[in-house]
Amino acid sequence: MQIQAALTRAPSVSFEIATVHLEEPRPDEVLVRVVGVGLCHTDLVAQAGGFSIAMPAVFGHEGAGIVEQVGSAVTKVRPGDRVVMTFMSCGRCPSCSDGEPAYCGTASVLNYRGVRPDGSKTMRHADVPVSGSFFGQSSFGTHALASERNIVKVPEGVPLELVGMLGCGVQTGAGAVMRSMDCRIGSTIAILGGGAVGLSAVMGAVVRECRRIIVVEPHAARRDLALSLGATHTIDPKEIKDVGAAVRAICPGGVNYVLDTSGVPSVLEIVPYLLAPRGTFGFVGVPPASAYDMRLPGKLIKAMQGGFTYRGIIEGDSDPDVFLPELMQLHLEGRFPFERLAKTYPLSQINEAVADQHRGTCVKAILLP
């Protein structure tokens, strides 16, 4: 079938709306008409060539929409179902069998190669093969091919055009607090970065009834939004140079948890100073390419004496079939207002949305095909 999609012709080249041919679903695949798709930093890393996916390519991995067609082996959904798409996992490896699909042993093959597991491509443009299957979906278009493993039904009352953002960024931030670090009631947390992931962590910390929720973020609008979502304190690192001292002024002795969503080396250096004894440092922020060899902050003896736990986190340790329904139910109860992070754009304005996110004038861009 012919679809409209945001095509990336070469690394770091702007997105282009083009007509692309999408294959019919195979027996284990699901065709979804995309209603809305989140714009994630990971998509921009891919656009810049960060995953070595052959170009041209179609990215997008926070899609949501309506099932239009299912393969003969699919039993989880049927045409007409409202669904959200998320990351892909195999369902067979030890991590998947333990309910930890975010750490699937074949995650890189299934999410970052631009092809199906058998090496085939799902799209072509003017008879040129197009890389797709990004996170098992490539949802920067009017339609996407997914599978039973990476789709979850969406109940009525949850805004379908916005819910795709739960598929990666939101579940990463909320899951870091609610699953990975399993923050305790009455505990304290410092969240470094107030973008979509950091603000989702704020909402997760509110659900977990953390006593102090401190957000370190340079953009004033995002600090204000953090406070309105339930953060107890915010810090502007441009105005307050000694962030560590500012955090300890709020929480003498340090915080129980630190979550970094920034990946900025200079920010990470202060983490050991922020942590209380037996504190946990969770990190989801991807460092810039120039800092990929960056080492964990602090000295071994300091971590040992403090009893610190350092915790790398992927997708908030989410099992999507369990965690995404939990977040959607919290939303229906008025306890997880993720829609407040979103600003919508037509898919045709994807490049404007990218620019707005870079400028910080938009927390989470949602593209509407």
Residue 146 confidence class, pLDDT cut points 50, 70, 90? very high
Q: Is 160 exposed, middle or buried (0-12, 13-18, 19+ CB in 10 A)?
A: middle
Largest Cα span, the chain: 63
Handedness of CA 353, 199, 342, 228 (dihedral sign): negative
The per-residue pLDDT for range 106-127, each reduced to its tens digit, is: 999 999 999 999 999 999 999 9
The gap from C-alpha 190 to its chain's centroid, in whole angstroms, comes to: 19
Percent residues over pLDDT 90 in the chain: 92
The pLDDT value given to residue 313: 98
Q: What is the dihedral of CA 198, 203, 207, 209, to 10 degrees?
A: 70
The pLDDT value given to residue 36: 98
Place of tokens 């004894």: 277
| Mean pLDDT, rounded, of the chain | 96
- CATH 3.90.340.10 for domain 173-313, yes or no, is no
Span(s) in the chain for CATH 3.90.180.10: 2-167+337-368
Distance of CA 28 to CAs 76, 130, 160, 264, 325, Å?
10, 21, 24, 40, 22
Percent residues over pLDDT 70 in the chain: 99
* For residues 63-81, average pLDDT: 98
Span(s) in the chain for CATH 3.40.50.720: 173-313
Q: Is 99 exposed, middle or buried (0-12, 13-18, 19+ CB in 10 A)?
A: exposed
The per-residue pLDDT for range 279-337, each reduced to its tens digit, is: 999 999 877 766 677 888 999 999 999 999 999 999 999 999 999 999 999 999 999 99
* Superfamily of domain 2-167+337-368 in the CATH hierarchy: Medium-chain alcohol dehydrogenases, catalytic domain (3.90.180.10)
